Structure 1
Amino acid sequence: MADDALPLSERYEACMVLSGVGDALGYNHGSWEFERNGEVIHREVAKKGGLARLDAKDFLLSDDTVMHLATAEALTEVGKKGKETLQRLIGELVKKYIECMTDMHGRSAGLTCLSSMNLHSGRLDGDHRIPFNKRGGGCGAAMRAMCIGLRFPSPDQEGHLIAASVESGRLTHHHPTGYLGALAAALFTAYAVRRSPLVEAWGHGLMKVLERAKEYIAQAGHCVDQNLQNCDYFENAWQAYLTERGILDGTGTPRFPDCYGVKERDQFYSRVSFKGWGGSSGHDAPMIAYDALLRAGDSWEELANHGFFHGGDSDSTAAIAAAWWGALHGFRRVPQLNYKRLEYRKRLAEAARQLLQLRSKPFDEDK
């Protein structure tokens, strides 16, 4: 359970900083992100002395956190400039995403993000929309969207959260499987901030919010038919997952297999994935992160075992899961070695501070 005595400021900071920790540990300079056998990763973690002995200074952040910071800093930059609108935010996001592409050495930037930023860099017409992409269902939109939930955590801001996550996502991943992953990452962060119950509210709430997202997609008027015709995969995958766990209707206790070790988790993560690499798509990156959070409770070590160290796209699932965990639990029982010397820790903490200040600020509708 979350600690009700924790100040919101710590939870915001932990959301951003621990997301970076999850990313860095799940990535491990690429050797763990691209290792398809989770048992190999767990053996290597054990050889290093276990999770508590992993020093953040030895782990480089991947493209996930660089782009998450870009999203957060776009949100805060627009927040400093008076009237905030969705179009201003979209423009600032494009600017920050292009800028952050210069900080990708050794960070394994995704090809979809790179190609989309090349497209944006060459445009002079001020139109930030990109064509529908039938291959745009990767997790690159989800991995960077948690901070949107920090900016719009309240139920009455849900419409802004939907618009910001959808549009931030389809700046690079213009396919519902991709950008609806950004919606899930942001929405669950908002649920964590307001401490909505994990079973009763999260998955059940997402299924309801997806209907509002479809309404937004239709209203936004960009490639409407293609988008709406391709929403089913994300929705059906989540419905199947929640049904398997026995929590589709937001009641009950999550059902896990009697034997759910490293090998079994790898098999399950692969099964719910698009093409066998668990966590690499927009639907299953937040799904695996949520699965890890349900299983771990308030144990940082169990969160890492389930969400960081597996034979899939481990840095993305870790970045998402750790953000939610931090928003719930702060830095409670997280070894300081895991985060004190994290690359860009001060930037992450400052972004969190500014998002906390903005959280109740009105967001204007575009006129």
Structure 2
Amino acid sequence: MEETVPSVEAYEAAMVLSRVGDALGYQGGRCEYCTSGPQIHTELAGLEAITLEPPERPVSDDTVLHLATAEGLATGLEGEPLLQELACRYVATMGDMEGRKPGPTSMLGDTSQLWPGEPEGYRIPFNPTGAGCGAAMRSLAIGLRYPHAWELPMLIQVSIESGRMTHHHPTGYLGTLAVARFGGSGGWPRALRELSCLRVLPLAWDYVEGAGVAAAAWPFFRDTWHR
């Protein structure tokens, strides 16, 4: 089974359309925090008439952090230098969060516990409540950066380490891995994608165990994924 790498146009579309969806769904927080599905559908009816322009349709904190991830990956750095670069960029994004309503987990990790430039300054202490989807929302670019099957170890490392910079709980940083994993396998044959989805968690566990990353509550995500 051969794998193919998406075209440049496909990469551009993935980046642009993910952010279009963010602006469409965020709407300054009105849709994001609305608990009524029918109301959201009503407000978004007639997409051709919607203009995605600030200040009515700003992008959220997720887009700002996703762009920071993509720009960090575009430097060509690898290993710890890349992780330090991502941590530095995440901290810097806190200056562009007015009106974007970043989640409390991201705010806590970015502003008070990341020390880019220091040894392992991209790692934060374990937080049993550090779950949520904020880390996953910024990880599509990781999958686009490592699309080949042979690059899976790098995808696992970067997604887990970047995710736990703010979301230290496994349900947070494994969500990062999941989004990156599916984003990076778009050019793979379907059968290979489906098999690897079941095989990637043991590989992730090997990395987490070897890196000494806190693994409390790991079974919850693992068991849910398998179901």
- Taking structure 2 as the reference length, the TM-score comes to 0.91
Q: 2:221 aligns with which of 211, 214, 234?
A: 234
How many Å apart are 1:123 and its aligned residue? 7.5
Q: Which residue of 2 aligns with 1:96?
A: 89
Q: Which residue of 1 aligns with 2:148?
A: 154
Give the residue type in structure 1 aligned to 2:198.
M
How many Å apart are 1:127 and its aligned residue? 2.8
1:210 counterpart = 2:201: yes
1:196 counterpart = 2:196: no
> Is the 2:105–2:130 Cα contact (8 Å) retained in structure 1?
yes
Give the residue type in structure 2 aligned to 1:76.
A
- Alpha-carbon RMSD across the aligned residues, in angstroms, is 2.0
How many Å apart are 1:221 and its aligned residue? 1.9
How many Å apart are 1:196 and its aligned residue? 3.5
Q: How does 1:1-367 map to 2 (within 5 A)?
A: 8-46=7-45, 50-57=46-53, 58-77=56-75, 79=76, 84-120=77-113, 125-128=118-121, 129-192=123-186, 194-197=187-190, 200-202=191-193, 204-223=195-214, 227=215, 229-240=216-227
How many Å apart are 1:138 and its aligned residue? 0.6
The separation in 2 between residues aligned to 1:204 and 1:26, in whole angstroms, is: 32
- Count of aligned positions: 221
Larger of the two Rg values belongs to structure: 1
Q: Which runs of 5+ in 1 are unaligned?
A: 241-367
The separation in 1 between residues aligned to 2:167 and 2:144, in whole angstroms, is: 22
**Higher RCO (C-alpha under 8 Å, 6+ residues apart):** 1
Identity of aligned residues (%): 44
How many Å apart are 1:142 and its aligned residue? 0.3
> Is the 2:163–2:173 Cα contact (8 Å) retained in structure 1?
yes
The separation in 2 between residues aligned to 1:169 and 1:113, in whole angstroms, is: 10
Give the residue type in structure 2 aligned to 1:61.
V
The separation in 2 between residues aligned to 1:39 and 1:190, in whole angstroms, is: 33
- Taking structure 1 as the reference length, the TM-score comes to 0.57
How many Å apart are 1:207 and its aligned residue? 2.2
> Is the 1:94–1:120 Cα contact (8 Å) retained in structure 2?
no
> Is the 2:84–2:117 Cα contact (8 Å) retained in structure 1?
no
3-state SS of 1:56 partner? coil
